[in-house]
Amino acid sequence: MIYNENESAIIFFDELCPLCSKWSLLVIKQSNSKIFFSPLSSNFAKRTLKLDTNINSKYSDSLFFYKDNRIFKEGKAIKEIIKLLSGHFIIYKLLLIIPTVILNYIYKMIAKNRHRLFGRYKECPISITKSGYFIYK
């Protein structure tokens, strides 16, 4: 798939997190939209999100979703991504009705403990980088 800034959406994620990587693969399988993925550590992420600080310290626990020239973060990003997923998984619909404030709290608790709970990759899994949906420039 070819990335087109005007037609595509991008998920920026921690590529060394197994939970984040598995979520990305699920989105690839369940989405009918043009969704691309980029690691938060990439220069592309820093340019697109206009991040000028050390990404590894300040934003490494964050998930960003870029669509229609808008940037969504954490719980709101999850809700926007879920809206683009196909399938009839009730969990998707339940997440949409949770208030964003509560979803952000849950998100931050999981993000804070994700490496302890799920481990950490030494490098981004090949299945994501070879998917054709990966932007790393």
In the chain, the number of structural domains is 1
- Structural contact between residues 106 and 75, judged by C-beta atoms closer than 8 angstroms: yes
Q: Is residue 3 part of a domain?
A: no
Q: Is residue 2 part of a domain?
A: no
DSSP 103: H
pLDDT confidence band for 4 (50 / 70 / 90):
low
Element (H, E) at 91: helix 90-97
The pTM (predicted TM-score) of the whole model is 0.81
Q: Is residue 91 part of a domain?
A: yes
Q: pLDDT digit string (tens) for 95-135?
A: 888 999 999 999 899 888 988 888 888 877 766 666 677 78
Give the range of the structural domain holding residue 21, as residue numbers without chain letter. Answer: 9-129
Q: pLDDT digit string (tens) for 58-70?
A: 556 788 999 988 9
Q: Is residue 137 part of a domain?
A: no
What is the distance between the alpha carbons of residues 63 and 26, in angstroms, rounded to a whole number? Answer: 15
Q: Is residue 32 part of a domain?
A: yes
